[in-house]
Amino acid sequence: MAIYRLKVIQRGTIIVDGVDSLEEAQEYIESCNPVDDVKWSGFLEAMQGGIELQRINIPDSMTIRGFADRILVRPAEIIKWLFQRGEVKQLDSEIGFEEMKEFADGYGFICEKE
């Protein structure tokens, strides 16, 4: 079983868990209607592909260098992202679980606590 993230322009991002393919994820969205007044046909027209997500386990905090190694990105990308949020950090600075989770989401990861 895999997890897919589907980008929907009109509504945001939808996470579909427990499917084996992108086609199954799209079929799942087509078949569910938890809110009666949602127009799902317009919703589906805005669907643009999707990517398979990877689950990773991370601790409550770790260094930027260690986290970068775990998700295979350059540490400078994380430092830049933090700087744009108003935080000045260095390679050996600690970052928390919520920050790691938010950053990793943009790279196709779902973070779970170790």
Q: Please report, for the chain, the start and end positions of each structural domain, with discontinuous segments joined by +.
A: 2-54, 59-113
Burial-class residue 31 by CB neighbours within 10 Å (0-12, 13-18, 19+).
Answer: exposed
Q: Do 105 and 71 touch, CB atoms closer than 8 A?
A: no
Residue 7's H or E segment, with its range, is strand 2-8
- Selecting from 2.30.29, 1.10.1660, 1.10.10, 2.40.10, what CATH number does the domain 59-113 have? 1.10.10
Could you read off the pLDDT tens digit of each residue along the chain, which spans 114 residues?
A: 677 766 655 555 667 777 888 888 778 777 775 554 344 444 444 445 666 778 889 999 999 999 999 999 999 999 999 999 999 999 999 999 999 998 998 888 888 898
DSSP 8-state secondary structure symbol assigned to residue 88: -
Backbone phi, then psi, for 15, in 5-degree steps?
A: -105, 125
Q: Do 51 and 4 touch, CB atoms closer than 8 A?
A: yes
Instruction: State how beta strands 12-19 and 2-8 pair.
Output: antiparallel
Which tokens is 17 given? 């868990």
What pLDDT, on a 0 to 100 scale, did the predictor assign at position 111?
Answer: 87
